[in-house]
Amino acid sequence: MTDTHVALVGFMGAGKSTLAWQAAQQTGRGYVDVDSDLEGLIGPIGTYFDEHGEPAFRAVEEVAVTEALLRSAPSIVALGGGAVTSAATRELLAERAITVWLDADLETCWERARATDRPLARDRAEFERLYAERRPLYADVADAVARDVHDIVLAAAGVHVKRGAIHHLGELVPGDGATALVSDPHVAGIHGMDAQLSLGARLAQTHELPLGEEAKTLAALDRLWQELRLDRRGTLVALGGGCTTDATGFAAATYLRGIPWTPVPSSLVAQVDAAIGGKTAIDLPQGKNLVGAFHWPVRTIVDPALLETLPSEQRREGMAEVVKTGLLANEPLWELPDDELVRRCAAFKAAVCLRDPHDRGDRAMLNLGHTFAHALEAAAGYDGVSHGQAVALGLTAALRLSGRDIGQVEEILAPKPVRVDRDKAWAAMQRDKKAVGGELRLVLLGDAGPRLDVAVPAEDVRRALDALIAG
């Protein structure tokens, strides 16, 4: 996923160049616009068309597309509207790219296309005929359909967000090999049957991990490793919350030195956070997530309908990460209806993780509020303060230190100061951040977006932390 081209196909005027450029910005990829590269070589496409005819143009176009797709640095490549009429191009797309169909309605395409000198947009009737003729071609080559830049980013990350997706796992899990379905007893009881039915003949085994963090233990992993009967063409399917996806992802990273896996996240935390970005881990008695691997799923299948059975306290856990994401994106994503909220938050995290798959840079922004949160969780002995509560509090501290208003976060997440030992929390915070020269380095929000590694005087940090603690 992190080293494949993303090719944008679709009718002329669908907006491929603009959105490809935006997607390249968001994912940190290179950007290639085949039409404009071609114009650099052969001059205006309209003129070339008129002088040499369409077949000659298709031939040079095919060469340009091939060249773009054979480049090694993964890029977002915008193809001309007719490029997919070439069988050689279609074959290359299947081999070398995640192909995304940018689907736009006829009117939009016509308005945009006729304003330019496009040779095939001179006659409305002909334009309509071509629009209808090309659609099945796009549908056929596409791995995903996109309407906006967020859809493109999700496709680049292999994330498929669709209500009802749980009923189509057999087709959506890549490949045609056997699958093993891993879940927790609770989620298995609610959604397990739907998943089993839709995996159909591809389902070879089912497993249950213990509930909650118990899933992320060596004992649970040991059992899962020993029960697995897949060969290397098999795929592990993780249906559940972040504990199930973290543990199953780690099993997939390690079993037979690594097999493909597909999370089907069922909690809000997992849909907007845990199942996106390729981090997998289990816990040690010494701390959380201390053993793990980067192992990007072959696809992540997000069905927002699964959230309808999520208990409200679990939903609140997820909302803390949603608010964090909205603050980072500088948009009130928490106000969106579920399907859109999940799609936008997942796309935001996917973009950050594609830019920084191994957590060496930008990804640190996802820790907004988390240094405080971890300190509170540690001071509570990981008992009594949930991660979501702690993050809600941590976000208010980060906002205060950023000179921002905390009204909105208080309104949505209603964080309540927790009863923990102040000195313990402070000690944990310093351990986590190794205060250097009386300063701690935190993620804060600036006017132009998140700022990483901001040095904050220790006494300011301590004051912000103290405000989160009751009594």
Site for ligand NAD, rule CB under 6 A: 184, 186-187, 190, 211-213, 216, 240-244, 246, 266-267, 269-270, 273-274, 277, 279, 288-289, 306, 309-310, 314, 317
Side-chain-side CA neighbours of 80 within 13 Å: the count stands at 27
In the complex, minimum distance from the CB of residue 13 to ligand NAD, in angstroms, rounded to a whole number: 39
Distances (CA, A) of 346 to 292, 457, 469: 21, 34, 31
Nearest to 271 by CA among 353, 341, 331: 341
Nearer to ligand NAD, 13 or 304 (CB): 304
Strand partners, 101: 9, 145
| Cα 100-104-105 angle, rounded to 5 deg | 150
Beta carbons of 190 and 247 less than 8 angstroms apart: no
Side-chain-side CA neighbours of 331 within 13 Å: the count stands at 8
In the complex, minimum distance from the CB of residue 251 to ligand NAD, in angstroms, rounded to a whole number: 13
In the complex, minimum distance from the CB of residue 268 to ligand NAD, in angstroms, rounded to a whole number: 8
Beta carbons of 34 and 45 less than 8 angstroms apart: no
In the complex, minimum distance from the CB of residue 288 to ligand NAD, in angstroms, rounded to a whole number: 6
Nearer to ligand NAD, 141 or 346 (CB): 346
How many of the other CB atoms lie within 10 Å of CB of 360?
8
Nearer to ligand NAD, 27 or 244 (CB): 244
> Using CA atoms, how far apart are residues 44 and 35, in angstroms rounded to an integer?
9
Nearer to ligand NAD, 151 or 246 (CB): 246
In the complex, minimum distance from the CB of residue 56 to ligand NAD, in angstroms, rounded to a whole number: 51
> Using CA atoms, how far apart are residues 141 and 157, in angstroms rounded to an integer?
18
Nearer to ligand NAD, 344 or 404 (CB): 344
Nearer to ligand NAD, 242 or 394 (CB): 242
In the complex, minimum distance from the CB of residue 172 to ligand NAD, in angstroms, rounded to a whole number: 18
Nearer to ligand NAD, 79 or 302 (CB): 302
Nearer to ligand NAD, 80 or 158 (CB): 158
Angle between the N-to-C axes of helices 34-42 and 54-70, in degrees from 0 to 180, rounded to the nearest 10: 120
In the complex, minimum distance from the CB of residue 157 to ligand NAD, in angstroms, rounded to a whole number: 13
Nearer to ligand NAD, 58 or 288 (CB): 288
Nearer to ligand NAD, 61 or 377 (CB): 377
In the complex, minimum distance from the CB of residue 399 to ligand NAD, in angstroms, rounded to a whole number: 21
In the complex, minimum distance from the CB of residue 186 to ligand NAD, in angstroms, rounded to a whole number: 3
In the complex, minimum distance from the CB of residue 244 to ligand NAD, in angstroms, rounded to a whole number: 5
